[in-house]
């Protein structure tokens, strides 16, 4: 991998999936060996963690948490992986403790967070249930940051206006489904 | 929601509005509760699409991992095949070299004489030559040796008897016969090479090399190429 860190970040921002797979291929084996050696995880666990690390890198770049890096991409990926492993170990301990010290009670913050996650998961499921090309159009536009010209090109539409109209219809259909579901009451 | 309004929300969330448009939109949100709700919903939709994409990416990486494993296995097979091929080639080379160090492999073919030549008038010689041509050297050798007792200086008899003895693994006899052929004989060049090989079989490689080098230096020697090839095994 000879690509500069900044070029990698720019490629991820531009919605390139290829670069993520390239990173995975380049560092997977090294990460797996490192994780097994230093954290006593299995090969499958190490691979799973590294996949999460690549997804984590993607999310952090997309949400703007990572705009430039002082370290190499490899070091960054390894630190995400290390955090995932350590959090997982810590979580296991906390969960065990929480179970031991469990008392009935009501924590509003936790409840709100849980409800937010619940809403997101329901919307996610409604989105995932959408057919093609709606799913692809919404993904390209909202997640991968494509402009309408690129969306049109990728889906095979005549021009950006046709793609824009289709995106609007897809979004309308999704929002209607949300409104028809039980989420309507929660959201209102 | 109308398309224009939907577009406006998208542009606001993607940061594509001008500073002025942005300020106007923020004011509109404050004043319009319905628009505020639509904006919240759009944010949730975008976040959900992001989550779905992250899941999809994770699944794609899982599949890609399997593909990588298959690719590595394939590469490994190729590596194994390459190692095997190198092994076979090495073994072949070693075998070839070992095989070529056998002096008998440097023996050259000698078709024999046609029967209509002067000497072939001798019935016994003709029979011996026929046996020789048929490859039956065990039969040819005693006849030629008998004829040699009648005509001990005959270079043709000495030459072919020598070949029979050499191929019958009576190397000393072959050397003795060939050494009696003088340098004026038509067989002298051929004998020079045959003697070199016979000395090799007889465990005298210095004599062999000396003769082979002499032949190598002679551009007109009929067995120059063969001598060069034989000399290579001494490198």
Q: How many helices and strands (H and E) does chain B possess?
A: 10, 0
* Strand, helix or coil for residue B201: helix
Q: How many helices and strands (H and E) does chain A possess?
A: 9, 0
Q: How far apart are CA A163 and CA A157, in angstroms?
A: 6
Choose between B212 and A182: higher pLDDT.
Answer: B212
Determine the pLDDT at residue A171: 93
Choose between B86 and B1: higher pLDDT.
Answer: B86
Determine the pLDDT at residue A111: 75
Q: What is the mean pLDDT of residues B201-229?
A: 92
Residue B68 CB contacts under 8 Å (≥ 6 apart), including other chains: A25, A28
Chain segment A93-131, per-residue pLDDT in tens = 666 666 666 555 556 677 777 888 888 899 999 999 998
Mutation test of the interface with chain A: which of B33, B41, B42, choosing the one with the most A Cβ atoms within 10 A? Answer: B41
Under an 8 A CB cutoff, do B57 and A20 touch? Answer: yes
Mutation test of the interface with chain B: which of A16, A23, A61, A123, choosing the one with the most B Cβ atoms within 10 A? Answer: A123
How many other β-carbons are positioned within 10 Å of the β-carbon of residue B64? 19
Q: How far apart are CA B107 and CA B109, in angstroms?
A: 7
Determine the pLDDT at residue A187: 60
Question: For the packed helices A43-62 and B33-100, what is the interaxial angle rounded to 10 degrees?
Answer: 130
> Which residue in B7, B44, B53 is closest to A123 by CB distance?
B44
Chain A residues whose beta carbon lies within 8 Å of the beta carbon of residue B60: 17, 21
Q: How far apart are CA A108 and CA A106, in angstroms?
A: 6
> What share of chain B in percent tops pLDDT 70?
94
pTM of the model: 0.58
Determine the pLDDT at residue B4: 86
pLDDT-wise least confident of B46-55, B99-108, B110-119, B165-174 = B110-119
Q: How far apart are CA A139 and CA A145, in angstroms?
A: 8
Chain segment A27-75, per-residue pLDDT in tens = 999 999 999 999 889 999 999 999 999 999 999 998 888 888 888 999 9
Q: What is the mean pLDDT of residues B62-76?
A: 87
Under an 8 A CB cutoff, do A188 and B37 touch? Answer: yes
Determine the pLDDT at residue B99: 59
Chain B interface residues facing chain A, Cβ-Cβ under 8 Å? 1, 3, 6-7, 10, 14, 37, 40-41, 44-54, 57-58, 60-62, 64-65, 68
Determine the pLDDT at residue B234: 82
pLDDT interval class at A2 (50, 70, 90): very low
Give the pair of three-digit tokens for residue B84.
Answer: 């095997």
Tell which phi-psi region holds residue A4, choosing left (phi > 0), alpha (psi between -120 and 50) or beta: beta
Residue A67 CB contacts under 8 Å (≥ 6 apart), including other chains: A9, A61
Chain B interface includes A171 (CB < 8 A): yes
Question: For residues B119, B125, B126 and B130, what is the CA-based torsion angle, rounded to 10 degrees?
Answer: -130
Chain B interface includes A59 (CB < 8 A): yes
Q: How far apart are CA B178 and CA B174, in angstroms?
A: 6
Please give the ipTM for the structure prediction. Answer: 0.82
DSSP state at residue A14 = T
Which residue reads 């849980």 in tokens? A114
Determine the pLDDT at residue B31: 93
Determine the pLDDT at residue B42: 93
Determine the pLDDT at residue A20: 94
Would the pLDDT of B221 be above 80? yes
Please state, rounded to an integer, the average pLDDT across all residues of chain B: 88
Chain segment B100-146, per-residue pLDDT in tens = 578 888 999 998 887 655 555 578 888 888 889 888 888 888 888 88
Chain segment A129-176, per-residue pLDDT in tens = 998 899 999 999 999 889 999 999 999 999 999 999 999 999 999 988
Would the pLDDT of A3 be above 80? no
């Amino acid at each position: 991998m000879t690509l500069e860190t900044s070029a990698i970040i720019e490629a991820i921002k531009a919605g390139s999936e290829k670069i993520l797979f390239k990173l995975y291929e380049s560092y997977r084996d090294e990460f797996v060996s490192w994780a097994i050696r230093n954290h006593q995880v299995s090969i499958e666990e190490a691979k799973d963690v590294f996949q999460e690390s690549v997804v984590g890198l993607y999310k952090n770049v997309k949400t703007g948490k990572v705009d430039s890096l002082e370290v190499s991409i490899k070091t960054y990926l390894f630190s995400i992986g290390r955090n995932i492993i350590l959090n997982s170990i810590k979580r296991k301990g906390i969960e065990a403790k929480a179970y031991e010290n469990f008392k009935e009670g009501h924590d509003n913050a936790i409840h709100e967070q849980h409800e937010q996650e619940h809403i997101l998961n329901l919307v996610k499921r409604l989105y995932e249930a959408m057919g093609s090309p709606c799913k692809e159009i919404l993904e390209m536009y909202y997640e991968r940051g494509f402009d309408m010209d690129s969306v049109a090109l990728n889906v095979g539409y005549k021009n950006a206006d046709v793609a824009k109209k289709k995106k609007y219809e897809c979004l309308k259909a999704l929002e209607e489904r949300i409104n028809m579901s039980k989420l309507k009451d929660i959201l209102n | 929601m109308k398309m224009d309004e939907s577009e406006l929300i998208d542009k606001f969330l993607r940061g594509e509005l001008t500073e002025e448009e942005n300020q106007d939109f923020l004011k509109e949100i404050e004043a319009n509760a319905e628009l505020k709700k639509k904006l919240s919903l759009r944010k949730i939709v975008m976040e959900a699409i992001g989550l779905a994409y992250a899941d999809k990416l994770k699944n794609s990486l899982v599949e890609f991992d399997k593909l990588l494993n298959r690719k590595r296995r394939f590469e490994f097979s190729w590596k194994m095949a390459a190692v095997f091929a190198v092994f076979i080639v090495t073994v072949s080379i070693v075998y070839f070299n070992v095989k070529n160090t056998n002096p008998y492999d440097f023996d050259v073919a000698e078709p024999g004489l046609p029967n209509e030549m002067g000497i072939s008038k001798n019935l016994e010689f003709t029979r011996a030559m026929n046996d020789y041509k048929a490859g039956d050297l065990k039969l040819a050798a005693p006849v030629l040796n008998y004829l040699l007792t009648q005509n001990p200086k005959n270079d043709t008899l000495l030459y072919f008897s020598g070949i029979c003895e050499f191929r019958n693994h009576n190397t000393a006899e072959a050397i003795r016969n060939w050494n009696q052929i003088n340098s004026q004989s038509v067989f002298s060049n051929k004998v020079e090479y045959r003697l070199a090989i016979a000395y090799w079989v007889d465990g005298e490689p210095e004599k062999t090399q000396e003769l082979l080098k002499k032949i190598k230096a002679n551009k007109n020697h009929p067995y120059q190429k063969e001598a060069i090839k034989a000399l290579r095994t001494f490198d």
